[in-house]
Structure formats: structure tokens, C-alpha cells
Amino acid sequence: MTMNRLWYDTAASAWTEALPIGNGRLGAMVFGGAWDERIQINESTFYNGGPYQPINPDAKDHLPAVRQRILDGKYMEAERLAYDHVMARPDLQTSYQPIGDLKIAFQHDMTTINYRRELDLETGIAVTRYDCDGVHYHRQIFASAIADVIVCKVTVDKPGSLSLSLLLSSPQNGEAEDRRDHVLGYLGRNRKQNGIPGALRFAFRTQVVATGGFVDRGPESIRVREADSVIIFIDAGTSFRRYDDVSGDPEKTTEMRLARASTRAFEDLLEEHVEDHRRLFGRMAIDIGPDLSHVPTDKRVRDNVAKPDPQLAALYTQYGRYLAIASSRPGTQPSNLQGIWNEEILPPWNSKFTLNINTQMNYWLADPANLAETFIPLIEMVEDLAETGQEMARAHYGARGWVVHHNTDIWRASGPIDGPKWGLWPTGGAWLCAQLYDHYSFSGDEAILRRIYPLMKGSAEFILDILVDLPGTSYRVTCPSLSPENRHPGGTSLCAGPAMDNQIIRDVFAAVISASEALAIDEALRAELVAARARLPEDKVGKVGQLQEWIEDWDVEAPEQGHRHVSHLYGLYPSHQIDLYETPALANAAKVALERRGDDATGWGIGWRINLWARLGEAERAAEVVQKLLSPEYTYPNLFDAHPPFQIDGNFGGAAGIIEMLVQSKPGEVRLLPALPKSWSEGYVRGVRLRGGVTLDMTWQDGQVQDVTLAADRDTSMTVIYNDNSPRVSVTGLTKLAL
């Protein structure tokens, strides 16, 4: 019995109990009913609306007045003026949508025994099995990235005893397809939203191949009688090609994919799927506690409240890796707020891309978890945003470069939305660029650097053009801006030069400076950035010893002392600007701020806090927060993050935090077991990626590192900190550390 498996002894009765499968483009939630299976389908490009650019022609003319009111301390006046004249038009975006359901009704007695459903993370296969009337029923479902369809095979151990019917349904506008073969289809269009006309066509189809028995098709269903086995192929597609092109032909593409897949042997489809999935999933292993995989997963989550289950944390980490593989593949959309899984027409926060923490958190796990390929969709999205954001930068700010604020959608809208106190934040694109450069640091691949350099350069040019002098100081700051999404004593979030902006901009400027040197280009821009970086406000320590969230020492008077965001701690994590050993005074101030903020937050807020406590070396506190995250309050039975409601960022952020407790790296340095709690006293990790192009295997016992092997992509040297030692090690190929 593998430890990398979720399993249950009852079928899912709610969506948050169903098991997710996906190939980056297609996603499905598998409920595992014994006599009435439901497979709920998503397709990563299916959003409402169509191509649009929400430019407000009044924004640029009114921006100086908003800025001046902020600088004068008239914050509420600034908010009202911004609301009336500066926000995007429309100031809302579009929603990610469900495609529909495939329902399978089995014709057998309703009394079943020996029921079990599971999701094998190592193979990417969801399995349901049970016995009924002396017949063993076995169901396998997987989303093949190679065939690009979902495949379901149902078998019985008594020939001729399998009878079922299939029904396709959709909550979207459209109608069932009139066909004569063993295919059910539903063709439709998306909805308009916020005045943006619907522009996408979609096709949703399933095809049945039975061995033995009889198959007939009714107006809306397919019936199979007395078969030995049935293979069901599922596909969906839209006319989306890119954010400004909806000329695709989903009817043709789904028909072609189903035709190709349905003529192949199931065994071949299964073998190539497992091989492809294992190629990614098998790169990393983790073990940090007793094996409790014999206990149903939902019970382990319930029991974790009273007694910590360290191996549940390991399973959660591998589940995060599984979700990354399933929801983010090269050529697909990035993982949105729910990855690729959503059943609601009006999903929470539109299930799109929130850029003031959530989308970035979705990709914290990718590189350390040795899944660099899953990061590529984020680069592809930033490339799109650099195009749409260039228009926004010119129209709203009169600036060079490009901008995106705190949200975007499939159409790559880049304007400020939702109201000034949430949306008038100009550094969402800059954060994305800082993350792209960090991704590059894991490999040092010059091809990646050349690809992302224009994106970083454009973001830096935008920032250069919008910085303003802060009266009475030598600082240059962003204004208007905000510290997401936290109000200060002025009654709103709008402010000048919040700590997070300064930290993000320092990272982006440093990235462009370093990259331009490495590529030997843009010397004049480099000098301009060096000078501008020197005039950014430094991190400040406030009157109670806390790291300040704003230039003003407002933290103690802020209305929400336990706010879910910890934006001003960006410098501690994911950045490396604040370091426990290199900047101890700032690290201590960050600790004070984190203690004051508390650990009661949303699921993603808890995930961020795990990483922060890990960076501070607070092992037991980090473990307490992990246990909090892996409780029924914040984790659903299927291990989805309970924000609540479900958001996948908590899964990715929490999994990244668990790795951060075990291994922390930056270029030229790695810290082993920097935040190891006593309850994780022995274990191993294999295949963890380090910044600098190095892969790490490590075992530990009694809280001490025992064995370390480093594998470098190219010859390098690094400081390895462990067991109170810190040797400088030359890594050539495969290097075993002499302990």
C-alpha cells in the first residue's frame, strides 16, 4: 500500500469530497458513487465574456489629483475620487465556468460491499471498486496529457454482467447534439458578464466503446447492456486560442481527439499516461513520520486535530505536487484560484487569477518540488499581460512598460478593479516578474533569462515612471498604492509607498540590474535602476518593535489587527531581503509583526504563515500552523484547501511551507532542517531542487542530518548549513557530503 494515496470507504456526497484529476487543460471531479457515478468536467479556457480591454479614458487626467490627496493625508477623499474616475471600465472581470457533468447509472442492486475509492498520486488514477451480487466492479479514471482526453474504464469479473447508462448535461447555454453513433455531445456558448459579450463556443462530448453486450443511443443518453467492460472517453474544448483570438473550432478538435483515443487500446493509453505522470511526480519523495496510510484520508484529517500526523503533512506535500501536475502544464492556462476545478456558475472571486498573493502562491511549490515545467504557464500568462498591460500603462498612467493590478482573467485584463481599496495597486506585475526571476535562479538557464528579461524590463520601466517624490524626504514611492487589502487608520487602504511595494520593487530592480549585466545589455537602464533603488524607503521598525506595514507607524492603530494578508512580510518570504542571520534586527521585527497578526487566517493565509515561521527558524510554531492547516476547519475531506470556500493556493502554499521547514535555499547557500519540529525527528527528502541548479537528497535521524547527496546541473559551489556546520562545498555532478 503506497503512502502517496488518498482513499475512502464511502462515496463522495459533496464536491469537496470528490477526487480531482486533470491534464492541465481538462479537469474532472470524480465522486465514485457505486450506482450513480458523477464526473464533473472543467476546461481551463472556459470563462465568461470575450476579448476586452477595460481602459478608463478619464483615469490618467484624474490620477494626479488622487495622488495629491493621498500625499496631503486626505485618504477618504482620494478613495472617492479614485472610485469615480480612476478605476477600470468595467471594474469587474469574468468568471471561470464549469463545462458540465457526465453521469453514469449502473443497473445493479443498490446494496454493495467492500467499497473503496482512492486517488493514487503516483499514477494519477482515480479508482472505485466494490462488490454487488457476487460481482466485483472496478472503475479507473485518468486525465491523459498525451491523448488529451479523460479516460474511464469499467470492468466486472463476471462476463456479461455490466449494464449502465450515460447522460451528459451542462448548466451552460446550448443544446444536445443530434448524432447516430456511440457519442453524446453538447454544444453551446458562454455567457456575457459585466457587459462583456460572450464570445466562446464550446463542445462537450463523450464516446463509449463496449466489449461484449449491446449498446444503443437515445436522444440524450447511451445505454449499455450485458457487457464485459466499457471504456468511456470524455473531452471538452472551446474556441479560445489566446486572449484576443476566439476563432478555434471546438467541434472539430474534440471530435478528432475522441476519434484518435477511441481507436487505441486501453492498455496503451494507460501505460503512456502513467509513464508521463511518473516522469514528473516521481522526481521527489518525502517521508516524515509513521505510515498511517491504512487509515481513510478523511479520518486522518479529523484525527490530526487531537494528535499530529506527520506523514499527513508529507501526503499533503505530495498532493500539492499532484495538483500542480494536474492543473498547470506547458501550453495550458496557469492554475487559477481553484486550479482547474470549479462546479459553480458564480464561483467565489470568479475563480480567476488574483495577483496580490494567490496566483503567486500557486507557484511557490513548483521549483523546490522539482516541477519546473508546471511553472511555464505562469511565464506564458505574464507574456500576455505585458501586451495588454502596456496599453493600460499608457492609458491610465502615461507610463512606459506594462502594468497589471490585483487581478486578471482569461482575457488578460490588467486594470484596477473591485474598488480602489482593493484594486488600485500597481505592483501586481512587478511581483510576477520577481517570481519569474526567482524561477530562473533555480536553473540558471540563460534561455529562460533571455525569455523573461523583456518582461522584467518592461515592469521596471513602468515603476520608474510612476515613482514620485515623498514630501519632506529623499524617498521616491508608489502613489497611489495600498498594502493589500488592509485598511490603515486613515479609513482606507490607499497610501503612498507601502512596505510591500518597496520590497517588491527592490527585488525587480535588482533582478533587471543583475540580468542586464549577465546579458551585457541596457547599461543606461541599469544605472537608472541603481540610482532609483537607492531612493526607495528602507524597511522600518515601529514603536512596538514590529516591522512596519506602511511608511507611517500605523500598525498598532490599524482596524484589523488580525488581517489575513501579511503583505509587509514579503521581504521575509518569498523574498530573501530579510534574513534570520544576515538581518537579525529586521527578522526580529518581522517576528513581532507576525505574532501580532496571529495565525487565525484563511487557508492561504495559513499557508503563507507556515513559510514565514519556517524562515524565522520557529520550528514548533510552524508545526502548529501545519497542524491547523491540516484540520477539518481548513482542509476538506479530499485535502482541498478550505479557504473557506475552496481555494487551491492554500494547498500550494502549505506544501511549499512544509518543504521550507526542511530545506531553504538561495543562490550559493542551502540550510538543512532549518525549522524541524521535534515530532518530525526522522525522515528523508529526495529530489528537492535548490536555487543554483542543484538537486538534494537528505536523510535525518534524531533531528540531525545523516546523509546528503547533491546533484548539480553544472559545476558550482555553495555553503551548506546543517548540524551547526556550514562548509563551503564544491558540487561537481553527483556529490555526497562528508558528514
pLDDT confidence of residue 180: 78
pLDDT confidence of residue 124: 98
pLDDT at 643 over 90: no
Residue range 109-124, pLDDT digits in tens = 989 999 999 999 999 9
Residues near 423 by beta carbon (within 8 Å), at least 6 away in sequence:
87, 88, 91, 405, 406, 407, 415, 416, 417
pLDDT confidence of residue 726: 87
Bridge partner residues of 487 (DSSP): none
- Output the CA–CA distances (angstroms, integers) from residue 496 to 108, 400, 493, in the order listed: 67, 20, 10
H or E, element range at 730: strand 728-731
> Radius of gyration (Cα) for the chain, nearest Å?
26
Residue range 191-221, pLDDT digits in tens = 999 999 999 999 999 999 999 999 998 878 9
DSSP conformational letter for 670: E
pLDDT confidence of residue 178: 83
Confidence of residue 594 (pLDDT cuts 50, 70, 90): very high
What pTM was computed for the model? 0.98
Query: Measured between alpha carbons, how far is 658 from 651 in angstroms, rounded to an integer?
Result: 11
Query: Measured between alpha carbons, how far is 306 from 300 in angstroms, rounded to an integer?
Result: 10
pLDDT confidence of residue 152: 98
Burial class (CB in 10 A: 0-12, 13-18, 19+), 547: buried
Query: Measured between alpha carbons, how far is 276 from 262 in angstroms, rounded to an integer?
Result: 19
Residues near 278 by beta carbon (within 8 Å), at least 6 away in sequence:
122, 123
- Output the CA–CA distances (angstroms, integers) from residue 109 to 73, 181, 228, 652, in the order listed: 72, 29, 18, 41
pLDDT confidence of residue 736: 87
Mean pLDDT over 590-604 rounds to: 96
Residue range 240-273, pLDDT digits in tens = 999 999 999 999 999 999 999 999 999 999 999 9
Phi, psi values for residue 484, rounded to 5°:
-50, 135
Residues near 697 by beta carbon (within 8 Å), at least 6 away in sequence:
684, 685, 686, 687, 688, 707, 708, 709, 711
Cell 491534464 belongs to residue: 23
DSSP conformational letter for 714: S
**What's the full length of the chain, in residues?**
739
Torsion-angle region of 114 (φ positive above 0: left; ψ -120 to 50: alpha; else: beta): left
pLDDT confidence of residue 1: 46
Query: Measured between alpha carbons, how far is 57 from 63 in angstroms, rounded to an integer?
Result: 11
Q: Could you check whether the bond before residue 471 is cis, i.e. omega within 30 degrees of 0?
A: no
The answer to whether 194 and 90 have CB atoms below 8 angstroms apart is yes
- Output the CA–CA distances (angstroms, integers) from residue 653 to 125, 339, 367, 430, in the order listed: 24, 13, 13, 20
- Output the CA–CA distances (angstroms, integers) from residue 700 to 292, 387, 678, 725, in the order listed: 20, 48, 12, 15
Mean pLDDT of the chain: 97
Residue range 620-634, pLDDT digits in tens = 999 999 999 999 999
Residue range 456-496, pLDDT digits in tens = 999 999 999 999 999 999 999 999 999 999 999 999 999 99
The grid cell for 27 is 479537469
Query: Measured between alpha carbons, how far is 544 from 528 in angstroms, rounded to an integer?
Result: 36
Phi, psi values for residue 26, rounded to 5°:
-100, 140
pLDDT confidence of residue 73: 98
Mean pLDDT over 648-667 rounds to: 98
The answer to whether 363 and 379 have CB atoms below 8 angstroms apart is no
Mean pLDDT over 140-145 rounds to: 98
Q: Please spell the DSSP secondary structure of 348-386, one letter per residue.
A: GGGGSEETTTHHHHHTTTTTTTT-GGGGHHHHHHHHHHH
Mean pLDDT over 415-425 rounds to: 98
Confidence of residue 185 (pLDDT cuts 50, 70, 90): very high
The proportion of the chain whose per-residue pLDDT surpasses 70, expressed as a percent, equals: 100
Phi, psi values for residue 187, rounded to 5°:
-115, 140
Q: Please spell the DSSP secondary structure of 620-634, one letter per residue.
A: HHHHHHHHHHTSTTT
DSSP conformational letter for 574: T
